[in-house]
Amino acid sequence: MPSSEQRAIDPARSEDLAESLRPRLAVEAHFERSGRTFRKSRFRLWFNRKVKAAALEALFKAAGLYRRGVLNALSPVVHRIELDFEDLPAAFDGFEIVHLSDFHIDAMDGLAEALAPVLKDLRPDLYVLTGDYRFEIRGSCEEVYRRMKIVFSAMAARYGTVGILGNHDAAEIATRFEEMGVRMLVNEAIELQRGASSLWLIGVDDSFDYRCADLRRATCAISNGGFRILLSHSPELYREGEHWGVNLYLCGHTHAGQVRLPLIGAVKKNAPIPRALIQGQWAYKSMQGYTSWGVGCSTLPVRYNCPAEVAVIRLRKKR
């Protein structure tokens, strides 16, 4: 269980984490100096924050839908999924993972309190977090830490909690989360063992905005075959994941569209990916994947036909 109190990080781990975060810190500094990101100009960032959000809020309120959208966003739903794999080691048959993504929690009043009792009823083998804890792309993260402590206090798992950063997150979040007991992966991998069998968790930095993902580096320490689970904020590395022998690709970022229309589905993909990868279970060649619907919201704290998701994924050995 992640601790809600700060703890000291082992000095060697602190040095490794600092080294892994150097590319992201350089990009953060560039964004700060330029006032833009690689994908969005100053004007687009301003327009999205000051005009687009206000216009959408006014539209939903005029239609009498805004309050309903907020209530939807604060009603997380548990989805249970079983995934079958021929090459899953027998020792990990039945291994259960709770996958959470896209909290944007500092802009979601009441989300931590709504999520905590749902998580308390779960006892998985492992929690994984696939990024975007902050709402904006810059500014203080203190409210993120305060609210995530509430979430972490409700989480208990045999193998603890492992997380990665998203495209809204500051590098400092990795350090602070490790102080709270979350093992953050920044282009690195860790091994879980049951007897002589291995399950590898591979975590990459953000590929969507920061462009710091390095799957080659993340997999270089893997010394045996083992079963490979990739944590990537966005689904867009699906080709690379399959190339590097990933068995299961877990990601988020898309929010499953956040606003979904009957028959049509997601209004917006949020990433340059096939529509089949926007939400839920999918496959690419020999690799399986799951894109979280997300637990938080972007632009506005509303969801329509798209519940906030707590995904409980059970791994099964195909017989």
The tens digit of pLDDT for each residue in 9-51 reads 888 999 999 999 999 999 999 999 999 999 999 999 999 989 9
Burial class (CB in 10 A: 0-12, 13-18, 19+), 237: buried
Task: Measure the CA–CA gap between 232 and 89, rounded to whole angstroms.
Answer: 23
**Beta strands 188-194 and 197-203, pairing class:** antiparallel
Domains of the chain in sequence order: 11-317 (3.60.21.10)
Question: Tokens 């960032």 label which residue?
Answer: 45
Task: Measure the CA–CA gap between 99 and 250, rounded to whole angstroms.
Answer: 8
DSSP letter, residue 8 = P
End-to-end CA distance of the chain: 33
The sign of the dihedral angle between the CA atoms of 94, 284, 247, 169 is negative
pLDDT band at 259 (very low <50, low <70, confident <90, very high): very high
Query: For residue range 68-84, what is the model confidence (pLDDT) as tens digits?
Result: 999 999 999 999 999 99
Query: For residue range 198-248, what is the model confidence (pLDDT) as tens digits?
Result: 999 999 999 999 999 999 999 988 877 789 999 999 999 999 999 999 999
